[in-house]
Amino acid sequence: MIVKFGLALIAGFLLLTGQAQAQTPPKPGVTVAYGLSLMGALKMAPDFTHFPYANPDAPKGGEVTTAAIGTFDSFNPFIIRGKAAAASASIYESLTAHSADQPEEAYVHVAQSIELPADQMSVTFNIRPEAHFWDGHPITAEDVIWSFNTLRDEGRPLYRTYYADVDRVEADGPQRVTFRFKKLNRELSQTVGELPVLPKHWWATRDFTKPLTEPPLGSGPYRITKFEMGRSLTLERVKDYWAQNLPIGRGLNNFDIQRVEYYRDATVALEAFKSGQVDWRVENSSKYWATEYGFPAVEKGLVVKEAIPRHLPSGMQGFAMNTRRPLFANRLVRQAIVELFDFEWMNKNLFYGLYARTNSFYTGSEYASSGLPTGDELEFLNKVRDKIRPEIFTQPFTLPVTDGSGDNRAGLRRALDLFKQAGWSVVDRKLVNAKGEQFNFEILLGDAAFERVALPYVQSLKRLGMEVRVRTVDPSQYQRLTDAFDFDMIVQVIGQSDSPGNEQTEQWSCAASKMDGSDNVMGICDPAVDELVQNVVSAKDHAHLATAVRALDRVLLDGYYIVPHWHLDAVWIAHWNRFSHLDVPVRSGVVLSAWWLDAAKAAVTDPQRRMGQ
């Protein structure tokens, strides 16, 4: 147990360090902090002046244009209805702010100090008197309470899940707010600190449950000043931003103007970048990265390619099966579907050998399961032994591996055997059930770029007699269909953090599977998973958290809910050579808010770009 300022650290796992000046003296036994950490000591000292990846002397000014795919019809990102514009949520500030280098840490932001009692059954935030919305209205405890209640009661389902263990929120004064908890939850203090604080007075004359078609009032470093609904968005830097000289703001948010241009598909967006209409892009296609960046501007050094290492969990991406559909309700069927995915052939022929196979829902972290369960992990699994398959204890989870030739006969044989066990057989070259009904489903895509992956997979599935179709829809329709779980199979990305916690309920629980718009898109409803999720949420320290997540990972993998894809431990960036940033490694890879316009580089690059290179 570590001690700071004479106070024992709470329970030895939620580390609180530093001391800030509170508005009222704290009660005896209360720790006063400038930050929260779930993984150990805070990296930044109490007197830190800026994050290490931010340049406090970075010049302000200039513009940067990025691209988004799809469209938008709302500026309210907190509800299911509508398709929210990019950056809609970023105009609001929260009680605490995260470091991009240490995502499991949070530092005071709208709050100037944090107080936690010894029993950790509440947390109090003292709000900075200088924190205000753009109209000059101060951010108050009343705004915090209204934001919490509104998001929980009327926002997306994830908010009800995140805040389920909060009993009530109380104002202890105009700028002091306390969250009281129903039970001990190791990360809840940090979770409520992430609450976006909305202006109650502005929303008083508007319906929060409906899509918003006017730029909202916020409190962040950028405000929306111009837009063409569905096509473009312009944000301007707030010159008198209240937090610009605080440690969490110094050296960040350097561009005067940020533009977001919307394109219907990734190919058009790439061409817009090549032509100079877009300044900066993250590339997520191995094909594009390997073949589309040989144009003259790259050869001349006018466009820079960077593969920047990242050191955060990769999570899971894959073809997710909707188990609400009877067709995918049988685990044997789902395992057979996984057997027919030939990653080795795809990596060789489609991805230029750039990817690694994903074999965990927590890939790239200490939480990924491997081998056979032992120690504390085995104890967690023993408690649900009667609810899970005995093979989990005796057979390590492995994904099928092929020789990359495209002739996956072994996988076909294994899949056929699994289908037979599930009551399916091949008759007249069709995979049918006892009623003679053919195995028939659709892969729904929201991005045409994934067709080059889905179509070869469809051919593999059809070799076993299935009828499989690929349907690509626009992003708005895709969101509506997936929010309502009206699909058979989709491409799903399931992100994970350095410290899994309350969000696991939203991703895996039976309750979440029944809420439209939840993150449990696969419809997982398993009592063993529910129990293991609770072990994660209630973990008493980091060691128990790690073993609890590994146990959960093992059971999720054994359910074969998803056909795992691939991952990359880097971020692919391409940008016109008119920007600079510190050469400081960041665990998240890239922090665009820490970049700035380099006038010397722009003076060379911009004229040539305007002349068509």
Q: Do 409 and 508 belong to one domain?
A: yes
The CA distance from 18 to 16, in Å, is 7
Pick from 109, 191, 199: nearest CA to 146 = 199
**Token pair listed for 601:** 């580089």
Q: Is 375 helix (H, G, I), strand (E, B) or coil?
A: helix
The CA distance from 227 to 76, in Å, is 14
**What pLDDT does residue 3 have?**
24
Q: Is 236 helix (H, G, I), strand (E, B) or coil?
A: strand
**Token pair listed for 469:** 């179709």
Q: Do 424 and 481 belong to one domain?
A: yes
Q: Do 285 and 341 belong to one domain?
A: no
3-state helix, strand, coil in the chain (%, to 5): 30, 25, 50
pLDDT along the chain (613 residues), means of 10: 25 33 62 87 93 96 95 94 88 94 90 94 97 98 98 94 93 96 89 96 97 96 96 96 95 97 92 96 93 94 93 92 98 98 96 95 94 95 97 97 95 97 97 97 94 96 97 91 97 90 93 94 98 92 92 98 95 96 90 96 92 60
Helices and strands (DSSP H and E) totals, the chain: 19, 29
Pick from 508, 541, 559, 512: nearest CA to 184 = 541
Amino acid identity, position 291: T
The CA distance from 45 to 191, in Å, is 22
Q: Do 298 and 385 belong to one domain?
A: no
CATH code: domain of residue 158: 3.40.190.10
Q: Are 81 and 480 in contact (CB under 8 A)?
A: no
Number of domains present in the structure of the chain: 3
**Could you tell me if residue 120 is inside a domain?**
yes
**What pLDDT does residue 25 have?**
61
**What pLDDT does residue 6 have?**
25
Q: What is the CA radius of gyration of the chain?
A: 25
**What pLDDT does residue 8 have?**
24
Q: Do 473 and 336 belong to one domain?
A: yes
**Token pair listed for 93:** 């500030």
Range of the domain at 459: 316-567
**Could you tell me if residue 40 is inside a domain?**
no
Q: Is 579 helix (H, G, I), strand (E, B) or coil?
A: strand
pTM, two decimals, is 0.84
Amino acid identity, position 62: G
Q: Do 103 and 169 belong to one domain?
A: yes
Burial of 371 (0-12, 13-18, 19+ CB in 10 A): exposed
**Could you tell me if residue 239 is inside a domain?**
no
**Could you tell me if residue 194 is inside a domain?**
yes
CATH code: domain of residue 442: 3.10.105.10
**What DSSP line would sit under 2-55, residue for residue?**
-EETTEEPGGGTSEEE-----SSPPPTT-EEESEEESSSS-SS-TT--S-TTS-
Q: Do 516 and 484 belong to one domain?
A: yes
**Could you tell me if residue 6 is inside a domain?**
no
The CA distance from 34 to 13, in Å, is 17
**Token pair listed for 254:** 């350097």
**Could you tell me if residue 504 is inside a domain?**
yes
Write the DSSP symbol of residue 386.
G
Q: Do 149 and 283 belong to one domain?
A: no
**What pLDDT does residue 96 have?**
97
φ and ψ of 459, to 5 deg: -60, -40
The CA distance from 322 to 329, in Å, is 8
